[in-house]
Amino acid sequence: MNLDDAIKAHGEWKLKLRRAIQDRQQLDAASISRDNVCPFGQWLHGAAKTQYGRLRTYSACVEKHAAFHREAGRVAQTINAGEYAVAEKMLDGGTPYAAASSAIGGAILGLRKEVATTA
């Protein structure tokens, strides 16, 4: 798993959610809320658990990844409810979504650093 790609993919969620607001799209909020659906989550709960589960940063990454997907799922639910202005505000800085997005980016960077020093 390329962890730089994982950071990029999670950063792109904000764009996907904003596009859904703009286009008034319905989203699969249940899948978005699950942390084992995206490629990074599949890797985290699969090969990475075996390979890196002992690392301190691995468990933090799993926790932060799950929190990110819960927040993204909440935004998706709000979009699906037609509350577009509310959903847009949920993506602003200083919100739970913004905090979760920042936290997963930091957690992935931490995991990448620890993996590099243990390799």
Mean pLDDT by 10 residues, the chain (119 residues): 87 95 97 96 94 94 97 98 98 96 95 87
Q: Which of 75, 64, 77 is nearest to 35 (CA)?
A: 64
Task: Output the pLDDT for position 4.
Answer: 86
Domain positions in the chain are: 3-118
pLDDT of residue 3: 87
What CATH architecture applies to the domain 3-118? Up-down Bundle (1.20)
pLDDT score at 119 = 65
- pLDDT for 118 equals 79
Q: What is the pTM of this model?
A: 0.92
Where does residue 68 fall: left (phi above 0), alpha (psi -120 to 50 degrees), or beta otherwise? alpha
